[in-house]
């Protein structure tokens, strides 16, 4: 009986050792083969551009808000306007565009667009004769 107890103990220890070696080997094989994975870097700034388009409407004024800083572009004329590309730190949190236009009738439309890194991320439209279109975007 003493030999059976010793054999059972030996088998338990042996199976535990095999399980431990298998687990460690599996975990090590999940590595990147010596290549350290670099996480996707979070951009520190974005290229932002604001655009206005009026249909049967003359753009008269644009107000751009980056974080808590407001810039006004007055005395605009024509049915389109666009800002230069502006580098905006992601720490600013949010950007906004408020635009004004004078329409020729109730079907006149003003579209305000915000582009971030070349992609349209937000837009707002309004219609009428005294038009105010808004667009607001928050960096995530």
* pLDDT score, position 91: 87
* pLDDT reading at 26 higher than 70: no
* pLDDT reading at 89 higher than 70: yes
Compare 110 and 9 and report the one with higher pLDDT.
110
Average of per-residue pLDDT values in the chain = 85
Given a contact cutoff of 8 angstroms between Cβ atoms, the answer to whether 81 and 73 are in contact is yes
Give 8's pLDDT tier (boundaries 50, 70, 90): confident
Averaged over 103-126, what is the pLDDT?
95
Given a contact cutoff of 8 angstroms between Cβ atoms, the answer to whether 89 and 103 are in contact is no
* pLDDT reading at 74 higher than 60: yes
Instruction: State how beta strands 57-66 and 69-73 pair.
Output: antiparallel
Averaged over 16-27, what is the pLDDT?
66
Give 108's pLDDT tier (boundaries 50, 70, 90): very high
Dihedral over Cα of 111, 112, 115, 120: its sign: negative
Q: Is the pTM of this model over 0.85?
A: no
Radius of gyration of the chain (CA): 31
CA dihedral in degrees (122, 127, 103, 79; nearest 10)? 20
* pLDDT reading at 52 higher than 70: yes
Greatest mean pLDDT range, 8-22, 29-43, 109-123: 109-123
């Amino acid at each position: 009986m003493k030999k059976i107890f010793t054999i059972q103990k030996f088998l338990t220890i042996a199976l535990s050792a095999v399980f431990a070696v298998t687990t460690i080997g599996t975990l090590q094989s999940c590595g990147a083969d010596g290549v350290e994975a670099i996480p996707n870097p979070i951009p520190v700034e974005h290229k932002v551009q604001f655009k206005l388009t009026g249909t049967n409407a003359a753009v008269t004024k644009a107000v751009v808000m980056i974080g808590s800083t407001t810039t006004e572009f007055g005395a605009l004329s024509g049915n389109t306007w666009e800002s230069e590309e502006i580098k905006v730190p992601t720490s600013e949190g949010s950007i906004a565009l408020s635009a004004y236009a004078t329409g020729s009738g109730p079907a006149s439309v003003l579209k305000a667009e915000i582009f971030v890194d070349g992609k349209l991320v937000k837009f707002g439209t309004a219609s009428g004769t005294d038009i105010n279109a808004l667009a607001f975007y928050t960096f995530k």
